[in-house]
Amino acid sequence: MEFQEIINSIRPEIEILLADYKAELMKLRTGRLSPALIEDIEANCFGSLLPLKQMGSISSVGQRELLFTTWDKSYVEGAVAGIEQAGLGLSVRIDGPNIYLTAPALTEDSRKNLVLVLNKKKEEFFQELRRLRDKVWKTMQDKGQTGELREDDKFKGRDKLDEFTREQRDKMEEIAINKEKEIMA
């Protein structure tokens, strides 16, 4: 077995990790509200908990306002309760099946707190990336001990793995830097 095959075996997991990372950062509020901020909030809908994205449509109305239009007026009460429980600090205005969510302007302190949250999330995803790297390195070591991977290839593989991991980490770092610029703007 070639070391490149072993490294390629984690590519799908890395792609999922990057997608999850981007999605998680989309939920962080910047100066402009994004529908991703509320789409996964769960609300009571006839005894079941459903994410808001399954109960209606979400759109941006302005810089600091979202419009959540429920597909049925009976969803409004549960949706409002779910949004309030999420503790996002959004003010709610109801107009029939429409729920308008308005956010106060970000202060300097709230921006700094968001950057702290951003860095915490970034570190959590970096740890997951390291866990995947360690898993692949262990596989290479195991293959080296059983003779399926030559000793030279094992260490070449480690170097390639480190390079691949560094590239992924750099991508994540770049995404975080751009998000921080958005928050502080």
CATH class, 35-102 region:
alpha beta
User: Taking the C-alpha atoms of 135, 137, 142 and 148 in order, what is their torsion angle to the nearest 10 degrees?
Assistant: 120
Q: Which is the CATH superfamily of the domain at 3-26+107-184?
A: Ribosome-recycling factor (1.10.132.20)
**Dist CA 98 CA 18 (whole Å):** 33
The C-alpha angle with vertex 88 and arms to 17 and 22, in degrees rounded to 5, equals 15
Confidence of residue 35 (pLDDT cuts 50, 70, 90): confident
Quick one: pLDDT at residue 41? 84
User: How does pLDDT run across 142-183, given as a tens digit for each residue?
Assistant: 988 998 888 888 889 899 999 999 999 999 999 999 988 888
Mean pLDDT of 17-45: 82
**Dist CA 160 CA 78 (whole Å):** 51
Encoded tokens for 173: 């770092």
- Class of residue 33 by CB neighbours under 10 A (exposed 0-12, middle 13-18, buried 19+): buried
User: How does pLDDT run across 61-120, given as a tens digit for each residue?
Assistant: 888 888 999 888 888 888 888 888 877 778 888 888 888 988 888 788 888 888 888 899
Domain(s) labelled CATH 1.10.132.20 in the chain stretch across: 3-26+107-184
